[in-house]
């Protein structure tokens, strides 16, 4: 088995040199799915995983724009259209200085499996640019978004490819991009998700990823007759996903101890309550400040510069910042401090060695493609509402989100149950694979 997996990885690696994040995501899937494929005759001789590891299409383009001093800047834009077997390409856009082909291909590959798990008809894609929104004025962000969409618009559409937000892309950026798409096409369509409520957005979409990651963790805790009540929770990040994960934890009676950004983490031993979270939301979303400012407002808290929050003892950890932000030594620290539940709000935040530590300690560990699927699931519900030209209430969307997270949890149990342990990583990868692979088989050599 090891030989089959290694020869597959070698072949994919030869075609994708210098793409470590993409190869990390492919290896994780291959290690979980190939042992399953060999037991299933229908997949033999179809080269199905190799086909899934090759994007259907990659678009790369120049994004020129003028900054506030009148200088011409240039960035690189991308859209990876990974797989459309079960629906149009769907996935976010990331604006961050680290963005490159490897990072977007890993995200697009993960998205294919994640979207399949949501039970909704969505293929997988991802895009973005190496643009750093930090410190940019509203005008600069708008001009960048307009230039980005001036090329992207010809590749997307409500039945072709529907982008949304991710790191560095929230409601403001979606608004600027939607406005430019509408001018170029002279059409009002649901081409992006994460839109404002008065122009086609869905209630609960901003909350969905964070809430979903907590709902998924709740489902995992229930398998042990446990809950969030009075649990200490450590969260990384302080953006969209982290904020709403924290909100749901607080609503469920947990004590949230940390939040972070790329400069460090804040630790509040008294817990971040609803009022303190409102301060964080204003700080991050309106004034676009740094999380370190929390300690000026709440002096009993401390700021740990350049550090990650995993050293703070907790029962539950929710990584909600970025890829590879939790390594083997962090995982060992967490488990030795009693952490027994990890639900990933971010995409691929735990390194492969960290995941091994979680499995060895029988931690309730959910990979992002299962636990953060609530965001794209509510994006799917936004698309459905746009097609219906109708809006569901908050309660309706939240009820559907909870049902979807429960369904994903059940799919993981179906394919991931091992002796005395649920391997959610294996369960999510196989369940996602089966749905997409069966559709591809039915469609011929695609
Ligand atoms: P935001 O841009 O709103 O927030 C990102 C947060 O992560 C910020 O606190 C940011 O800090 C921190 N961060 C980003 N890069 C790094 C880094 N290299 N090192 C340390 N911290 C970092 O993004 P989101 O909250 O939307 O996304 C967070 C994660 O969730 C990502 O992995 C994303 O792919 C994933 N995700 C998002 C979904 C969504 O609907 N938005 C859906 C599913 C997954 P700083 O400000 O210092 O950069
Ligand atoms: O990683 C993700 O699932 C997202 N950034 C959300 C994608 C979407 O289309 O809502």
pLDDT one-digit tens code per residue, 127-157:
999 999 999 999 999 999 999 999 999 999 9
Q: Contact at 8 Å (CB) between 88 and 112?
A: no
Q: H or E stretch including 148? A: helix 138-152
Ligand 2: centre distance to CA 376 (Å): 5
Residue nearest to atom 40 of ligand 1 (CA): 375
Residue bearing tokens 């560990």: 365
Ligand 2: distance of its center to the CA of 57 in Å?
A: 19
**Residue 111: CB within 6 Å of ligand 1?**
no
CB 201 within 8 A of CB 224: no
What pLDDT score does 217 carry?
A: 99
Task: Give the pairing type, strands 89-95 and 124-129.
Answer: parallel
Q: Which residue puts its alpha carbon closest to atom 23 of ligand 1?
A: 167
- The residue whose CA has the least distance to atom 28 of ligand 1 is 321
What is the dihedral angle through the alpha carbons of 403, 405, 406, 411, rounded to the nearest 10 degrees? 130
Q: Which pLDDT score is estimated for 388?
A: 97
Question: pLDDT category, 87, cuts 50, 70, 90?
Answer: very high
Distance 140 CA to ligand 2 centre (A): 24
CA dihedral (406, 408, 409, 411) positive or negative:
positive
How much is the pLDDT for 83? 99
Mean pLDDT of 153-181: 98
Q: What percent of the chain has pLDDT over 70?
A: 100
Residue 1 Cα, ligand 2 centroid: separation in angstroms? 33
**Does residue 383 line the site of ligand 2, with CB under 6 A?**
no
The whole-angstrom separation of Cα 341 and Cα 381 is 28
* Two tokens, residue 67: 């900054």
Q: Render pLDDT for 355-400 as a digit per residue (tens, 0 to 9).
A: 999 999 999 999 999 999 999 999 999 999 999 999 999 999 999 9
pLDDT at 334: 98
Q: Is 93 in the pocket of ligand 2 (CB under 6 A)?
A: no
Q: What pLDDT digit, counting tens, does each position of 282-303 carry?
A: 999 999 999 999 999 999 999 9
Cβ(368) – ligand 2 distance below 6 Å: no
Contact 125, 59 (CB under 8 A): no
Is the CB of 190 within 6 Å of ligand 2?
A: no
Nearest CA to ligand 1 atom 30: 346
Nearest ligand to residue 326 Cα: 1
* Beta carbons of 324 and 348 less than 8 angstroms apart: yes
Please give the Cα distance from 204 to 193 (Å, whole number). 12
pLDDT, residue 301, reads 98
272 within ligand 1 shell (Cβ under 6 A): no
* Ligand 2 touching residue 19 (CB < 6 A): no
> In ligand 1, which atom is closest to the CA atom of 261?
11
168 lines ligand 1 (CB under 6 A): yes
The CA distance from 286 to 438, in Å, is: 45
Taking CA atoms only, the protein residue closest to ligand 2 atom 3 is 376
Token digits of residue 273: 């309550």
Distance 166 CA to ligand 1 centre (A): 7
126 has catalytic annotation: yes
Residues 4-36: pLDDT tens digits?
999 999 999 999 999 999 999 999 999 999 999
Q: How many CB atoms lie within 10 A of CB 354?
A: 24
Cβ of 262 below 6 Å from ligand 1? yes
Q: What's the gap in Å between 370 CA and the centre of ligand 2? A: 12
Which ligand 2 atom lies nearest to the CA of residue 165?
5
Residue 79 has what pLDDT? 98
pLDDT of 206-262, one tens digit each? 999 999 999 999 999 999 999 999 999 999 999 999 999 999 999 999 999 999 999
Given the structure tokens 């929104």, which residue do they identify?
A: 133
Q: Which of 82, 70, 143 is nearest to 115 (CA)?
A: 82
Which member of 90, 126, 231, 276 is catalytic? 126
Is 320 near ligand 1, meaning CB less than 6 Å away?
Answer: yes
Residues in the chain, overall count = 446
Q: In sequence order, what are the beta bridge partners of 63?
A: 75
Report pLDDT for 276. Answer: 98
Q: How far apart are CA 208 and CA 240, in angstroms?
A: 10
Q: Of all atoms in ligand 2, which is nearest to the CA of residue 115? A: 3
Ligand nearest to the CA of 173: 1
CA 205 to ligand 2: nearest atom: 10
In angstroms, the CA 1 to CA 316 distance is: 34
Question: Quick one: which ligand is closest to 110's CA?
Answer: 2
- Cβ-proximal residues to 288 (8 Å cutoff; 6+ apart), any chain: 134
> Which pairs from 63-71 meet CB under 8 Å and 24+ separation?
63/129, 63/131, 63/144, 63/147, 63/148, 63/151, 64/147, 65/140, 65/143, 65/144, 65/146, 65/147, 66/143, 67/136, 67/140, 68/137, 68/139, 68/140
Band of the pLDDT at 78, cuts 50, 70, 90?
Answer: very high
- 108 close to ligand 1 (CB < 6 Angstrom): no
pLDDT digits (tens, 9 = 90+) for 421-433: 999 999 999 999 9
**pLDDT at position 25:** 98
**Number of other residues whose CB lies within 10 A of the CB of residue 211:** 26
Return the pLDDT at 68: 98
Mean pLDDT of the chain: 98
Neighbours of 324 (CB within 10 A): 16
Domains detected in the chain: 2-52 (no CATH), 57-188 (3.40.50.10860), 208-371 (3.40.50.720)
**Ligand 2 center to 302 CA (angstroms):** 32
């Amino acid at each position: 088995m090891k030989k089959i997996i290694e020869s597959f990885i070698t072949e994919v690696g030869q075609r994708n040199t210098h793409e470590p994040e993409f190869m990390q995501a492919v290896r994780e899937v291959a290690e979980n799915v190939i042992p399953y494929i060999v037991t299933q005759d229908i997949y033999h001789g179809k080269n199905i995983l190799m086909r899934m590891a090759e994007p259907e299409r990659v678009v790369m383009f120049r994004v020129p724009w003028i900054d506030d001093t009148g200088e011409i800047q240039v960035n690189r834009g991308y859209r990876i259209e990974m797989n459309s077997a079960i629906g149009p390409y769907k996935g976010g856009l990331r604006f961050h200085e680290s963005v490159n082909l490897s990072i977007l291909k890993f995200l697009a590959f993960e998205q294919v499996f994640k979207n399949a798990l949501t039970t909704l008809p969505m293929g997988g894609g991802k895009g973005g640019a190496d643009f750093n929104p930090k410190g940019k004025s509203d005008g600069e962000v708008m001009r960048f978004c307009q230039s980005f969409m001036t090329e992207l618009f010809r590749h997307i559409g409500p039945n072709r490819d529907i982008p949304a937000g991710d790191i560095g892309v929230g409601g403001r950026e979606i608004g600027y991009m939607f406005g430019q798409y509408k001018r170029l096409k002279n059409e009002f369509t649901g081409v992006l998700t994460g839109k404002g409520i008065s122009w086609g957005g869905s209630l609960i979409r901003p909350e969905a990823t964070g809430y979903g990651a907590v709902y998924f963790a709740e489902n995992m805790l229930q398998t042990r007759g446990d809950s969030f009540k009075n649990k200490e929770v450590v969260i990384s990040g302080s953006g969209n996903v982290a904020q709403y994960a924290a909100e749901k934890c607080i609503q469920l009676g947990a004590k949230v101890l940390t939040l972070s950004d790329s400069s460090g983490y804040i630790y509040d031993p008294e817990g971040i309550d609803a009022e303190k979270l409102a301060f964080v939301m204003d700080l991050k979303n309106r004034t676009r400040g740094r999380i370190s400012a929390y300690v000026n407002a709440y002096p009993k808290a401390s700021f740990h510069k350049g550090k990650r929050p995993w050293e703070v003892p907790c029962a539950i950890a929710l990584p909600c910042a970025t890829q590879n932000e939790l390594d083997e030594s962090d995982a060992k620290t967490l488990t030795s401090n009693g952490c027994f539940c990890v639900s990933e709000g971010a995409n691929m935040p735990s390194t492969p060695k960290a995941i091994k530590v979680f499995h060895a300690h029988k931690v309730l560990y959910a990979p992002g493609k299962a636990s953060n699927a609530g965001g794209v699931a509510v994006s799917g519900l936004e698309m459905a509402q746009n097609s219906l030209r109708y809006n569901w209430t908050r309660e309706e969307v939240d009820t559907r989100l909870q049902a979807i997270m429960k369904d994903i949890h059940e799919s993981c149990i179906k394919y991931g149950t091992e002796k005395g342990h649920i391997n959610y990583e294996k369960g999510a990868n196989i369940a996602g694979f089966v749905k997409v692979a069966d559709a591809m088989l039915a469609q011929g050599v695609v």
